Amino acid sequence: MEKTIDLRESVYDIATKYPDIVGMMVGLGFTDLEKPGMLKTVGRFMTIPKGAKMKNIDLELVKQKMRDMGYAVE
């Protein structure tokens, strides 16, 4: 079964299914994910595209890193 990430899902839902994504995201600049409680609070309504826009991170780079990790991105 292929691991698929739906970018319409919240960061929290994605991180719950695929915890290894969090480290990659922190490395790309989503540093707030390291703060205690952020994933469980803001992460419940924030999507990766919204977060990338807020942090000025290239969404295409995020998608490519996910593909490099073996995920299909929707």
Per residue in 20-68, pLDDT (tens digit) is 999 999 999 999 999 999 999 999 999 999 999 999 999 999 999 999 9
pTM metric for this prediction: 0.91
pLDDT given for residue 2 in this prediction: 82
pLDDT given for residue 1 in this prediction: 60
pLDDT digits over 2-22, tens only?
899 999 999 999 999 999 999
CB 7 within 8 A of CB 47: yes
pLDDT given for residue 58 in this prediction: 98
d(CA 3, CA 17): 9
Determine the topology of domain 3-73 in CATH. SP0561-like (1.10.3910)
